[in-house]
Amino acid sequence: MKQAKKKAITHEVDVSATIANRMVDNATGVLILENNGHQYQTGEFISFHVVEDGYGSLTDIGNPLMEQIWIIKEIYSGRGIEPGYIVVLVNYLKSKGESDDE
Taking the CA atoms of residue 52, residue 39, residue 97 and residue 92 in that order, the dihedral angle to the nearest 10 degrees is 70
Query: Looking at the domain assignment, is residue 1 inside a domain?
Result: no
Structural domains counted in the chain: 1
Question: Model pTM?
Answer: 0.80
Tens of pLDDT, residues 17-41:
888 888 888 888 999 999 877 689 9
- Between CA 64 and CA 80 the distance in angstroms is 32
Is 69 in contact with 94 (CB distance < 8 Å)? yes
| pLDDT for 4 | 57
Query: Looking at the domain assignment, is residue 64 inside a domain?
Result: yes
Query: Looking at the domain assignment, is residue 101 inside a domain?
Result: no
* CATH number of domain containing 29: 2.30.130.30
